[in-house]
């Protein structure tokens, strides 16, 4: 999978057209529409590359407007909203042929020392004590082909059963906890480490919406699409080491659901918080057989 990781680095290596415009490419393996995590990570990198001096990221807030065509490059336009010594703000529009696909607001802030507290990391087994996702996909390639055939630049190790195995067991699960790390040597660039987290934050975060109801991708007729996604960065990210992505769903209503998550490092420090909203529709299988008049 090191080739997949190299492709991720190439996707994040944006081509600068001018002071505020970049071009982004797609990898060789894509879903039907451009992966949202890819566009978010590219928007984040573009915003970061326009800073006049290094300022750590504080917030990324993204709205998805239209689906992207993986056969065509992405045009990424950065608008400078604020530049100060310790603060910076950017708006980033991701487009194709004049059509707006995604718009993002990115904030940067050097806050310094202050009050500190955080929710604790849940108790989970160590990453090397659970199988890699490749083993968990064995025998389920036709059930969840979009996972089995996807680009996998990030190593995933579930500490609980993933949705497709949970469904086979007839279980329900109100959370998902997955260890993640890069499947290659990360460059010594904090922007890319944070971008890898942004890219990964778009995976598994909506799973708890369906696993709470004992459902699974592939097994059940489910339509899901992300509408908006936000990441709050609390501490520097080192994605060349294992991080735990712990996610839950606080609510689902009116065909929309929220997934929320926290990234922790190996020592238990909270690195980032994620909230994603998606349209999620479940179509139960119709009962068969005749009905008496």
CATH number at residue 272: 2.40.160.210
For the chain, percent of residues with pLDDT exceeding 90: 92
Residues in the chain: 293
pLDDT of residue 148: 87
User: Can you give the residue range of the structural domain that contains 76?
Assistant: 2-111+127-282
Residue 159 lies in a domain: yes
Question: Across the chain, which distance is largest between two alpha carbons, in Å?
Answer: 76
Residue 32 lies in a domain: yes
Pick the residue with more confidence: 2 or 93? 93
Give the other-Cβ count within 10 Å of 288's Cβ.
Answer: 5
Strands 222-233 and 256-265, bridge-based pairing: unpaired
Q: How many domains does the chain have?
A: 1
Residue 201 lies in a domain: yes
Cα gap 166→162, rounded to integer Å: 6
Give 184's Cβ-side CA count (13 Å radius). 16
Q: Residue by residue, what is the 3-state secondary structure of 182-247? A: ECCCCCCCHHHHHHHHHHHCCCCCCHHHHHCCCCCCCCCCEEEEEEEEEEEECCCCCCCCCEEEEE
Residue 287 lies in a domain: no
DSSP letters along 86-99, please?
SEEEEEEEEEETTE
Residue 19 lies in a domain: yes
Q: Supply 77's token pair.
A: 């336009």
User: What are 201-236's pLDDT values in tens digits?
Assistant: 999 999 999 999 999 999 999 999 999 999 999 999
- pTM exceeds 0.85: yes
Residue 186 lies in a domain: yes
Residue 116 lies in a domain: no
Cα gap 76→96, rounded to integer Å: 9
Residue corresponding to tokens 């990234």: 263
Q: Are 273 and 204 in contact (CB under 8 A)?
A: no
Cα gap 235→118, rounded to integer Å: 11
Residue 117 lies in a domain: no
Query: Phi then psi for 207, rounded to 5 degrees?
Result: -60, -40
pLDDT of residue 286: 65
User: What are 73-131's pLDDT values in tens digits?
Assistant: 999 999 999 999 999 999 999 999 999 999 999 999 998 889 999 999 999 999 999 99
Give the other-Cβ count within 10 Å of 189's Cβ.
Answer: 12
Query: Phi then psi for 139, rounded to 5 degrees?
Result: 90, -10
User: What are 143-170's pLDDT values in tens digits?
Assistant: 999 888 899 999 999 999 999 999 999 9
Give the other-Cβ count within 10 Å of 121's Cβ.
Answer: 18
């Amino acid at each position: 999978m090191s080739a997949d990781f190299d492709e991720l680095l190439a996707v994040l290596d944006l081509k600068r057209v001018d002071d505020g415009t970049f071009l982004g490419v797609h990898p060789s393996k894509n879903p039907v529409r451009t992966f949202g995590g890819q566009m978010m990570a590219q928007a984040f990198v573009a915003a970061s590359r326009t800073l006049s001096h290094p300022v750590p990221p504080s917030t990324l807030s993204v709205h998805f407007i239209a689906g992207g065509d993986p056969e065509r490059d992405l045009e990424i336009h950065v608008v400078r909203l604020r530049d100060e010594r310790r603060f910076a703000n950017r708006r980033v529009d991701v487009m194709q042929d004049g059509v707006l696909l995604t718009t993002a607001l990115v904030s940067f802030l050097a806050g310094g020392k202050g009050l500190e507290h955080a929710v604790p990391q849940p108790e989970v087994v160590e990453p090397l004590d659970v199988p890699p996702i490749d083993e968990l996909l064995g025998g389920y390639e036709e059930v969840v082909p979009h996972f089995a055939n996807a680009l996998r630049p990030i190593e995933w190790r579930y500490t609980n059963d993933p949705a497709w195995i949970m469904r086979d067991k007839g279980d329900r699960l109100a959370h998902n906890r997955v260890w993640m790390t890069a499947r290659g040597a990360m460059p010594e660039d904090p922007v890319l480490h944070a971008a890898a987290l942004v890219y990964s934050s778009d995976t598994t975060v909506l799973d708890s919406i369906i696993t709470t109801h004992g459902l699974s991708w592939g097994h059940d007729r489910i339509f899901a699409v992300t509408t908006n996604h936000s990441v709050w960065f609390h501490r520097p990210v080192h994605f060349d080491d294992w991080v735990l992505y712990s996610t839950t769903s606080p609510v689902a209503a009116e065909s929309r659901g929220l997934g929320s998550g926290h990234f922790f490092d190996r020592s238990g420090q909270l690195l980032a918080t994620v909230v994603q909203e998606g349209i999620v529709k479940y179509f139960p299988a119709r009962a068969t057989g005749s009905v008496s008049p």
